[in-house]
């Protein structure tokens, strides 16, 4: 079975569009920021704007110079934080090396943090009262829901421990309601194949092209490929898709799997952010 992220993402976008149709006089705006020349980032952010606009969410973009100082970057973020016409703030990562991500993130108010990356939103997720959570792992959860994949009591293995994907994915799969037994594997894990083979649900988010081979996968497992690499000018995920799809019960294609879901969940988070700011009613 192909787990069709494009389709589920379109469903989410259309649902948001029809929700927003009830509030024609409410303008919701997502602001994105890119620091420096980051071609992949430009591509992703372009997609985020197109999808936002298609859903009826307004957007604005700010390009900042590669050599901007930490202080000027934080000042720019603070302007967006104080702007009542901006409801969501997304700073595309990674930042140039001379900049401190944590200090930048600390300038984003938690209720505008549509990436769910601030200490407050990460802490909320950890403590069991999540609000805005990172878009990519949320997208995997939305796929699991859309395809009615059972998680309770099942073994999930998450490969990769980033704060953008692996760590929040571990928490979202193990929280009450999802109830999976989660193993967090990473680059120092011994015998990764053996660990992965235990997974009913496998989320690969390391960014190593085709690291997940057919012999890593339990027959019938649900496989979510999050890693994106470029190999010989082609997009390659963390999963050796051709081989693994013969063994897995379901698999996300690359592209067209988890990527569109990240963008759809960004829209979902922007709506939630607007709700937290009482721009949309809480019941919606
Ligand atoms: N860079 C790669 N993925 C992401 C993401 O989900 N959010 C941000 N801000 N930067 C990214």
Q: What is the mean pLDDT of each run of 10 residues along the chain (284 residues)?
A: 98 98 97 95 96 98 98 98 98 97 98 98 98 98 98 98 98 98 97 98 97 98 96 95 98 97 98 97 76
User: Looking up tokens 């120092």, which residue turns up?
Assistant: 188
92 is catalytic: yes
CATH of 12-110, one of 3.30.540.10, 2.60.120.260, 3.40.50.10860, 3.40.50.261: 3.40.50.10860
Q: Measured in whole angstroms, how far is the alpha carbon of residue 283 from the centre of its chain?
A: 24
In the chain, which residues fall in CATH 3.40.50.720?
135-259
Q: Is cis: bond before 8, omega within 30 of 0? A: no
Sheet order of strands, 29-35 included: 58-64, 29-35, 88-91
Which residues does a 6 A CB cutoff place in the pocket of ligand 1? Answer: 90-93, 115, 135-136, 164, 262
Q: In CATH terms, is domain 135-259 a member of 3.40.50.720?
A: yes
In the chain, which residues fall in CATH 3.40.50.10860?
12-110
Structure tokens that stand for 92 in this block: 């595309």
Q: Measured in whole angstroms, how far is the alpha carbon of residue 12 from the centre of its chain?
A: 14
- Which pLDDT belongs to residue 284? 47
169 is catalytic: no
- Which pLDDT belongs to residue 283? 74
H helix or E strand, kind and range, residue 143:
helix 135-146
Structure tokens that stand for 80 in this block: 């967006």
Q: How far is the CA of 130 from the centre of ligand 1 (A)?
A: 19
48 is catalytic: yes
Of 102, 43, 89, the C-alpha closest to 269 is: 89
- Which pLDDT belongs to residue 196? 98
Give the residue whose CA is nearest to atom 1 of ligand 1. 93
Q: What is the pTM of this model?
A: 0.97
Give the residue whose CA is nearest to atom 8 of ligand 1. 92
**Closest approach atom of ligand 1 to CA 91:** 9
């Amino acid at each position: 079975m192909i787990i069709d992220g494009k389709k589920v993402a379109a469903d989410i976008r259309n649902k948001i569009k029809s929700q927003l149709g009830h509030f024609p006089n409410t303008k919701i705006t997502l602001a994105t920021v890119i620091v420096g020349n980051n071609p992949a980032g430009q591509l992703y952010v372009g997609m985020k704007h197109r999808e936002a606009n298609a859903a009826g969410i307004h957007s604005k973009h700010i390009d900042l110079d590669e050599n901007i100082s930490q202080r000027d970057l934080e000042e720019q973020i603070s302007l967006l934080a104080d702007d009542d016409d901006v409801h969501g703030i997304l700073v595309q990562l990674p930042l140039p090396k001379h900049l401190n991500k944590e200090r930048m993130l600390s300038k984003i108010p938690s209720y505008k943090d549509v990436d769910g990356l601030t200490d407050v939103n990460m802490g909320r997720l950890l403590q069991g009262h999540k609000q805005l959570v990172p878009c990519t792992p949320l997208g995997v959860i939305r796929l699991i829901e859309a395809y009615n994949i059972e998680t309770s009591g099942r073994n999930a293995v998450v490969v990769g421990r980033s704060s953008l994907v692996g760590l929040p994915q571990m928490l979202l799969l193990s929280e009450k309601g999802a109830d999976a037994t989660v193993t967090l594997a990473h680059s120092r894990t011994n015998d990764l194949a053996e660990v992965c083979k235990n997974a009913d649900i496998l989320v690969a988010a390391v960014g190593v092209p085709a690291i997940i081979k057919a012999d890593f996968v339990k027959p019938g497992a649900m496989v979510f490929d999050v890693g994106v690499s470029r190999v010989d000018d082609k997009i390659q995920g963390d999963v050796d898709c051709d081989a693994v799809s013969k063994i897995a019960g379901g698999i996300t294609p690359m592209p067209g799997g988890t990527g569109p879901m990240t963008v759809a969940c960004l829209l979902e988070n922007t709506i939630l952010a607007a709700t937290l700011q009482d721009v949309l009613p809480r019941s919606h």
